[in-house]
Amino acid sequence: MTQIAMPQPDPLILAKRERIIAGLKERVPAQWVITEEDERRPYETDALTAYRRLPLAVVLPGSTEEVAAILSFLSREGVKIIPRGAGTSLSGGALPQEDAVVVGVGRLNKVLDVDFTNRTARVQSGITNLAVTTHISPDGFFYAPDPSSQLACTIAGNIAMNSGGAHCLKYGVTTNNILGVRMVLLDGTIVDFGGETFDQPGYDWLSLVIGSEGQFGIVTEATLRILRACEGARPCLLGFDKVEDAGACVAAIIASGIIPVAIEYMDQTAIRICEDFAHAGYPLDVAAMLIVEVEGADAEIDVLLTHIEKVARENGARIVKVSKSEAESAAIWKGRKSAFGATGRIADYLCMDGTIPTGQLPYVLTRIGEIVAHHRLRVANVFHAGDGNLHPLILFNANDVDELERAEQAGNEILELCVEVGGCLTGEHGVGIEKRDLMEKQFTPVDLDQQIRVKLLFDPDWLLNPAKVFPLNLHPLPLGRAA
Amino acid sequence: MSASSLAPQNSLEVASIVRDAAARRQSIEIIGGGSKRALGRPLDAAITVDVSGLSGVTLYEPAELVVSARSGTPLQHVTDLLAQKGQMLPFEPADYRPLLASTGEPTIGGMVATNLSGPRRLHVGACRDAIIGCKFVNGRGEEIVSGGRVMKNVTGYDIGRAMAGAYGTLGVLTEITFKVLPRSHATLTLVYEGLSCDRAVALMSAAVASPFEVTAAAHIAEGNRARTCLRLEGFDASITYRAGRLIEDLAEYGQPQRLDAAPSKGLWREIGEARSIIEPADHVVWRLQMPPSRSAALVNSLRAMMDVSVLYDWAGGLVWLSHAPGDDVTAVRTAAKAGGGHATLIRAGEALRRRLSPFEPQAPAVEKLARGLKHAFDPAGILNPGRMYAGI
Ligand SMILES: Cc1cc2nc3c(=O)[nH]c(=O)nc-3n(C[C@H](O)[C@H](O)[C@H](O)COP(=O)(O)OP(=O)(O)OC[C@H]3O[C@@H](n4cnc5c(N)ncnc54)[C@H](O)[C@@H]3O)c2cc1C
Ligand SMILES: Cc1cc2nc3c(=O)[nH]c(=O)nc-3n(C[C@H](O)[C@H](O)[C@H](O)COP(=O)(O)OP(=O)(O)OC[C@H]3O[C@@H](n4cnc5c(N)ncnc54)[C@H](O)[C@@H]3O)c2cc1C
């Protein structure tokens, strides 16, 4: 019904389901092998909820050694494996298949060691992103990449997707904040990449593993770079009558030599949705709004915000609200932080994630408006403007099959537009199944072939999170007929 | 062995040279400016490919913080261009020609292939962190694109970033795109004098664990008086405030001298180039990476065995160390490893570089993967074979 095809399950694997389950129960305590249909149900999808597949079984290992035993068993049996963190992927990255076993790392959720002197934290991969920062914040430290989903999403998922967040303009994304990982290979070998030092000798395995979307192995531990927080942070809110002016203002702030920790953009639809929900005091009569946050001591923040206010006025900002207190800061952020929830309240939505050169912002926003109108839908734009990572939320009604298809079509056109103007399909959510079939828009066959050659080093039989990232026609083994 | 020498002018020519060489199984040594040619294991390649003809900046958008250049572009050319717009490569690449007594013009391809970063690496990440896209020719002679020109991009695997530090063994880089940063409006360096290595590392650790954004921290142990240096960058008002707070919080280490922008610049250039340990020229030079808290103990343990000169950068995470060629070279690596770190041999006679792996030997499981990765990019094994490790 929906557009993205998934392979047919392998009948030979389905036929030996009992044997696979028995094998898992020999390797982890039976209570952590989930087989009943109603208990498997929560694992049938992730945050791309339009797609659901009930997995053959779910296993929740309690140690790296158990993960190793599970992987060597399943790979010997030729069973597909879906690594899973919290299942908040927006690209279908954690979507199971009927003939696959989900390996969830949720029980591996401990902080193993924190070293404030060397500014590192070693954690098990199933810990949530926010739990890391919560653990170290009493000492004034934090872990920088902060996806909006940080309350739920795991470090494992962040590593697999190379996740970003609102503060990555200054602090970078996951790949810039990981010093080491412990990963289990398909054959059960446990390898350590990186460690506690700044750089690693030999090949840069972390570059490859981070962003590999669960297709290289199962990450069970990670060593994170932790940072001392600045003394404070405060935002200002800027309102513009013209979308172009907001775009120009972003460029002007950066060109003037300031890297704010965050520059968030909201269009009028997004402002209205968030204001209705959060009553944050947002201006309803502007075409676009920016939230710009800077860090430092109070005196520094004053200097920076004064400078930003000046640049904003020069670039046509009609409304400038500079936060003077923690309460005012919270109010400014409240609407933005509830954007996804508030939107979900009024409609179903597809969250796009393309990135564009920021100079193309006005053109791309105009085109997005046209594309969505053409498909008789509405869009709300909320995104990280400093780095050009767009999140158009395409609003639709999931009970209307035709609307879903139109929404997916509009989404594809928007992503193609991003590539056309020199950007990319996904800035932080990953390819998963959602953007799989668009990969040939961004890459040539030899580019994809080179990526696949790297994948085959880790997973020659396409057992790890298969049917994702690469278009199905590039999978070398018969994965079954597309359904 | 006399090698034939080729000088392609564009990526198509690179691809065709590599394709031909792959068909004949002839090995290739890639040369950028030749300034770091002595890094790594010596090569005896059939063909040398000089990529300095692939030159020129292909894209520069200051407001988007992005610059692209062909791989043979002189590093100096890129940094000069960025400086005109008040910007810089974040990781502060250093000039190793004095250290390596080499000539030639360092290129951005050589810089990426060696992934060597300078003092600001402490604060903003390494060369590899600044890469947002690249084009390269793999060992099959295919032109590959990875990443792009936008800051956030998780489309496909990050194979371009993995070119950093691969010493040209996975591909010939032809064009690289970097994230750049604004230069700071002002700079101030605080210099503490006369601290022991242990105290200096403790001071640096305390400084980087403060909220006051120290963008570089180094300890020059050699010379008449040891100097421990903390750099602050940003707006004047901000620097004044942060310096005041740091001096107050670190009062137990003494009162620092203040160096403003001009002398700061010279000092950090010297630190980046490891000037304080260059002499004598025949001494062996190592670059050790350690968890900072263990670096002083490592140096102390080596001092018990031999005379060493040391320079700490990255708040102690990086130790430049030199010793006489006759000393026990294996001791350095053993000690680094025991402390949770690793050691790269940077300067040594060719005989020693042939005998002792310049790079930290790898765990067997990782070594096996490394051979597989080499094969995935360069199945004939012709690109800089053996420069990093035997067999890759
Ligand atoms: C409301 C909302 C807001 C969001 N905001 C952001 C945002 O601001 N920035 C952003 O980048 N993302 C965002 N996301 C997307 C999502 O949260 C991230 O992709 C996140 O990293 C996924 O983590 P997870 O633990 O939920 O992983 P899952 O969804 O369970 O899995 C994600 C991928 O990781 C793989 N994986 C999981 N565990 C492992 C493992 N142990 N080893 C190897 N591979 C593994 C899976 O196979 C899958 O491919 C948002 C999602 C939602 C629902
Ligand atoms: C461990 C180590 C020890 C060194 N010791 C010495 C020494 O004793 N004496 C000395 O003179 N220099 C030494 N160097 C410096 C080095 O050999 C070069 O001189 C330096 O990298 C300068 O940059 P370049 O552009 O001149 O690069 P080059 O020196 O030309 O190249 C540096 C490395 O990068 C590779 N490379 C260059 N361009 C590309 C490209 N486009 N694509 C892929 N790979 C590329 C080269 O094959 C080489 O391995 C050393 C470097 C290292 C890392």
Six-digit token pair at B231? Answer: 């750099």
Contact A175 B289 (CB under 8 A): no
In contact, A201 and B362? CB cutoff 8 Å: yes
B160 with B148: CB under 8 angstroms? no
Instruction: Name the least confident of A136-140, A440-444, B35-39, B219-223.
Output: B35-39
Burial profile B339-376: b = 16 or more Cβ within 10 angstroms, e = fewer: bbbbbbbbbbeeeebeebbbbbebeeebbebbebbbeb
CB B172 within 8 A of CB B49: yes
Quote the tokens at residue A418. Answer: 């991003």
pLDDT at B1: 44
Topology (CATH) of A347-420: Alpha-Beta Plaits (3.30.70)
What would the mean pLDDT of B325-333 be, rounded to a whole number? 90
B158 has a chain A CB within 8 A of its CB: yes
- Hey, whose CA ends up nearest to atom 20 of ligand 2? B36
pLDDT at A1: 41
Query: Does the beta-carbon distance from A303 to B238 stay under 8 Å?
Result: yes
Intervals of CATH 3.30.70.2190 along chain A: 233-340
**What is the model's pTM?**
0.96
pLDDT of residue A255: 85
Contact residues for B113 (Cβ-Cβ < 8 A; gap 6+): B30, B32, B163, B164, B165, B166, B167, B168, B173
Q: Is the CB of B346 under 6 A from ligand 2?
A: yes
Q: Are A393 and A420 in contact (CB under 8 A)?
A: no
Q: What is the pLDDT of residue A477?
A: 53
DSSP B53: G
Fill in the DSSP letter of residue B343: E
Q: Helix-strand-coil percent breakdown of chain A, rounded to 5? A: 40, 20, 40
A198, B370: Cβ pair inside 8 Å? no
Report the pLDDT value the prediction gives residue B36, as an integer from 0 to 100: 67
Given a cut of 90, whether residue B269 has pLDDT beyond it is yes
The pLDDT, as a whole number, for residue B329 is 87
Which whole number is the average pLDDT over B143-162? 96
- CATH number belonging to the domain at B275-355, selected among 3.30.70.240, 3.90.1150.10, 3.30.2270.10, 3.40.640.10: 3.30.70.240
Cβ of B52 below 6 Å from ligand 2: no
Count contacts between A and B (CB, < 8 Å).
Answer: 244
Q: Chain A residue closest to B368 (CA)?
A: A457
Return the pLDDT at A483: 36
Mean pLDDT of chain B: 94
Q: Above 0.85 for ipTM, yes or no?
A: yes
Instruction: Give the residue whose CA is nearest to atom 33 of ligand 2.
Output: B110
Chain A residue with CA closest to B121: the answer is A198
Determine which helix (DSSP H) or strand (DSSP E) holds A219, and give its type and residue range.
Answer: strand A218-225
Nearest by CB to residue A172, choosing from B129, B317, B373, is: B129
Q: Specify the CATH number of the domain B186-272.
A: 3.30.70.2190
Structure confidence at residue B37 (pLDDT): 66
In percent, the amount of chain B with pLDDT more than 90 equals 87
List residues near ligand 1 (CB under 6 A). Answer: A 46-47, 82-90, 93-94, 105, 125, 147-149, 153-154, 156-158, 160-161, 163-165, 213-214, 218-219, 340, 428-430, 465
* pLDDT at residue A452 in the model: 97
Closest residue on chain B to A159 (Cα): B154
Q: How far apart are the first and last CA of chain A?
A: 10
3-class secondary structure, A457:
helix
CA of B291 to the centre of ligand 1 (A): 30
- Distance (Å) from CA B179 to ligand 2 centroid: 22
Cβ(A413)–Cβ(A371) below 8 Å: yes
Chain A residues touching B342 at Cβ < 8 A: 197, 200-201
Residue pLDDT tens, chain A, 483 long: 457 899 999 999 999 999 999 999 999 999 999 999 999 999 999 999 989 999 999 999 999 999 999 999 999 999 999 999 999 999 999 999 999 999 999 999 999 999 999 999 999 999 999 999 999 999 999 999 999 899 999 999 999 999 998 888 899 999 999 999 999 999 999 999 999 999 999 999 999 999 999 999 999 999 999 999 999 999 999 999 999 899 999 989 988 888 899 999 999 999 999 999 999 999 999 999 999 999 998 888 999 999 999 999 999 999 999 999 999 999 999 999 888 889 989 999 999 999 999 989 989 999 999 999 999 999 999 988 889 999 999 999 989 989 999 999 999 999 999 999 999 999 999 999 999 999 999 999 999 999 999 999 999 999 999 999 999 998 865 444 333
The secondary structure of residue B294, as a DSSP letter, is G
Contact between chains at A388 and B317 (C-beta distance less than 8 A): no
**For the structural domain made of A233-340, what CATH number should be given?**
3.30.70.2190
Residues of B whose CB is below 8 A from A144: none
Asked whether B386 lines ligand 2 (CB < 6 A), one says no
Q: Which residue, among A183, A207, A470, would best test binding to B if mutated, counting the most B CBs under 10 Å from its CB? A: A207
CATH 3.30.70.2740 domain locations along chain A = 347-420
Whether the pLDDT of residue B246 is over 90: the answer is yes
Cβ(A55)–Cβ(A44) under 8 Å? yes
The minimum CA-CA distance between A31 and chain B, rounded to whole Å, is 32
CATH architecture of structural domain A1-229+451-483: 2-Layer Sandwich (3.30)
Class of domain B1-183+361-392: alpha beta
Beta strands in chain B (DSSP E): 4-6, 28-31, 47-50, 57-61, 66-70, 87-88, 131-137, 143-147, 172-179, 181-182, 186-193, 214-220, 227-234, 257-259, 284-289, 308-313, 318-323, 342-347
Residues in chain A: 483
φ, ψ (nearest 5 deg) of residue B38: -80, 0
Nearest residue of chain A to residue B142 (CA atoms): A446
Instruction: Quote the distance between the C-alpha of residue B320 and its chain's center.
Output: 12
- A63, A88, A210, best to mutate for ligand 1 pocket (most atoms within 8 Å of CB): A88
Among the partner-chain residues B154, B181, B314, the one whose CB lies closest to the CB of A428 is: B154
The ranges assigned to domains in chain B are: 1-183+361-392, 186-272, 275-355
Provide CB contacts within 8 A for A418, sequence distance 6+: A354, A355, A356, A364, A390, A424, A425
- pLDDT score at A2: 58
Cα distances from A199 to residues A317, B161, B165, B231, B359, in angstroms, run 43, 13, 10, 21, 12
Determine, for residues A430 and B154 on separate chains, whether the beta-carbon distance falls below 8 Å.
yes
Q: Which residues 1-60 of chain B have a CB within 8 Å of chain A?
A: none
Give the DSSP per-residue string, A78-146: T-EEEEESSS--SSSTT---TTEEEEE-TT---EEEEETTTTEEEEETTSBHHHHHHHHGGGTEE-S--
- Nearest Cα neighbor of B303 from B368, B195, B204, B221 is B221
* Subunit contact B158:A423, Cβ cutoff 8 A: no
Question: Cα distance from B130 to chain A (closest Cα, Å)?
Answer: 9
The minimum CA-CA distance between B191 and chain A, rounded to whole Å, is 21
Distance CA A14, CA A102 (A): 14
